[in-house]
């Protein structure tokens, strides 16, 4: 189910500079550089308003797919043209046609997440790489999830099991948003206590704080890539489709 118009407009306005979007995108870009050869073909499933496609195009030949015509319209405003409106549960893509697929905070929106992961497996070439990101922990569920039309939140073991059950080999996984996790928990508890109405909102931060948080998450990403993180409000994973 697509987000409402104001959510896409807010995303389009903020995702180029707001620390959370920047941190998520930079981690995905680092994973691309580690696991995918330069110049490969990449499909961004749930490409949203296109900031990720712009970043990933430095490494790959990028294509975008999203359920929302509105989101694709924002992509077009960025000058992105290789786009298709599609349901991730039934991608209009030839089998074994992409070297890599990225899906950042998309799988949790899909009614049948396993069907979507199965479709991603289908369209990847043997040896292809899937990079995904989803929100963590069902007990963190709150008005934010309702507003964003999430169907679920995950644990790291659930993500790994879903990938393996659909045929993938998991190469790496970690929680993220580690250092700020206590603040996320407090915010969710506050929402429950005050019965906050469903609304997707990003806390306002000053330019100085935004810069600090972006740097903090760059440091966090280096830890995640090298040793993994034991908890956090998001989960990121890298999996491959076996060659044989």
Q: What is the CATH number of the domain that holds 17?
A: 3.40.50.150
> In the chain, how many domains are there?
1
Q: Show the beta-strand stretches assigned E in the chain.
A: 40-45, 60-66, 83-85, 98-104, 124-135, 169-176, 234-240
Q: What average pLDDT score do residues 189-197 get?
A: 88
Band of residue 1 on the pLDDT scale cut at 50, 70, 90: very low
Indicate if the pLDDT at residue 34 is higher than 90.
yes
Q: Which residues contact 120 (CB under 8 A, 6 or more apart)?
A: 45, 88, 91, 101, 103, 130
Helix (H, G, I), strand (E, B) or coil at 134: strand
Task: Please state the pTM of the whole predicted model.
Answer: 0.95
Which domain range does residue 161 map to?
Answer: 5-240
H-run or E-run covering 30: helix 19-35
What is the chain's mean pLDDT, rounded?
A: 94
Indicate if the pLDDT at residue 201 is higher than 90.
no
Q: What is the pLDDT of residues 52-74, one digit of tens each?
A: 999 999 999 999 999 999 999 99
Band of residue 205 on the pLDDT scale cut at 50, 70, 90: very high
Q: What average pLDDT score do residues 123-134 get?
A: 98
Sign (positive or negative) of CA dihedral 72, 73, 78, 82:
positive
């Amino acid at each position: 189910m697509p987000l409402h118009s104001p959510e896409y407009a807010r995303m389009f306005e903020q995702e180029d500079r707001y620390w959370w979007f920047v941190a998520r995108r930079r981690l995905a870009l680092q994973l691309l550089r580690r696991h995918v050869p330069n110049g490969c073909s990449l499909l961004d499933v749930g490409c949203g308003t296109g900031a990720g496609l712009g970043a990933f195009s430095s490494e790959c030949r990028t294509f975008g797919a999203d359920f929302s015509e509105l989101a694709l319209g924002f992509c077009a405003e960025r000058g992105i043209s290789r786009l298709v409106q599609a349901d991730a549960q039934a991608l209009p893509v030839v089998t074994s046609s992409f070297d890599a697929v990225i899906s950042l905070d998309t799988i949790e929106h899909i009614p049948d997440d396993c069907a979507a992961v199965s479709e991603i497996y289908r369209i990847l070439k043997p040896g292809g790489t899937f990079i995904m990101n989803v929100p963590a922990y069902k007990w963190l569920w709150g008005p934010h999830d309702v507003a964003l039309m999430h169907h679920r939140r995950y644990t790291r073991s659930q993500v790994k099991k879903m990938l393996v059950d659909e045929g993938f080999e998991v190469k790496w996984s970690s929680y993220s948003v580690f250092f700020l996790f206590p603040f996320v928990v407090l915010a969710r508890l506050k929402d429950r206590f005050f019965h906050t109405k469903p609304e997707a909102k990003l806390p306002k931060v000053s330019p100085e704080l935004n810069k600090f948080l972006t740097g903090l998450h760059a440091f966090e990403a280096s830890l995640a890539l090298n040793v993994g993180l034991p908890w956090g409000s998001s989960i990121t994973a890298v999996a491959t489709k076996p060659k044989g």
